[in-house]
Amino acid sequence: MTWILFAILSAFFAGSTAILIKVGLKRVDSNLATALRTAVVLGFSAIFAILLEARTPSPSFSQANLLFLLLSGLSTAFAWLSYFKALQLGDVSRVVVVDKSSIIITILLSFIVFKEKPSITVFIGMLLIAAGILLMLKKGENENTGRAWQLYAFLSAIFVSLTAIFGKIGVGEANSAFATAVRTLVVFVVVWAVVLGQKKHRYIKSIDKKSWLFIVLSGITTGLAWFMFFLALKQGRASVVVSIEKLNIIVTVLFSRILLREALRRRFVSGLLCLILGTVLMFFV
């Protein structure tokens, strides 16, 4: 069950990434920050691929695998652009809650695409996760942040789910480092196309040293999260891997409370416990 450890590590690094972005990139446009961060992740992924001798696909790696890796990368790019925009507009602890609805979407898609057999445990877990999300959002929102962030967070959840499904199909027998590098390259091309199209690359010179530090750190944690995620996907069940990875909300909420002083109301804590319990039930499917 080594893949469970990889999924847990992916969750930790992903949770840390959200805080690094929120804390350090307040004065940088979200799309530009995403593009620069992707450059760091791409370099990080390339190093992993070279060290693990993944410069070429394995013999069993087909064109279909490559197609789905490309689709996974496109989904990731759109998920990132939506997620970081949501983080810029709303409270980090609220954004990650909506993003966690991707667990339910991924589980449903896994039943359809991979024919994973549903069980009573899965359904109970899904209900707990849904209840937790509703509890954490209802009456607990900061109205000062507006509502636009909700749309971006929900779009992120949809694209995250597609990322996992496409990634599971695409990774096949390929080395996980190679799969990560392909996915990152696609994200790099898409987000830089957006930035160049908006002509936001002109603001690179105005980025201060502190923001650069957080861009690099968030890129490193993202690279580690992705690598662990693909290792887990390759060995484990997509619905379970995504469920475990989404426990990154624990890391994010704790850090948002300690570092950002974001309020955690009783409803929010109750909802978080429901979400965690529902996610943990996925271990027993």
138 DSSP 8-state letter: T
Provide the residue ranges of all domains of the chain, joining segments of one domain with +: 2-111+146-262
- The whole-angstrom separation of Cα 254 and Cα 267 is 16
Write the pLDDT tens digit of every residue in 179-218: 777 888 898 999 999 999 989 999 998 888 888 998 899 8
Measured from the Cβ of residue 29, the count of other Cβ atoms closer than 10 Å reads 17
Inform me whether the pLDDT recorded for 145 exceeds 80.
no
Region 3-21: mean pLDDT is 86
pLDDT of residue 188: 92
Inform me whether the pLDDT recorded for 61 exceeds 80.
no
Write the pLDDT tens digit of every residue in 114-135: 776 777 888 888 899 889 888 8
Give the lowest-confidence range in 1-10, 24-33, 47-56, 263-272: 47-56
Q: What is the rounded average pLDDT for all residues in the chain?
A: 80
Read off the tokens for 59.
Answer: 């013999």
Exposure string for 117-155, b = 16+ CB within 10 A, e = fewer: eeeeebeebbebbbbbbebbbeebbeeeeeeebbebbbb
Region 65-73: mean pLDDT is 86
Region 65-79: mean pLDDT is 88
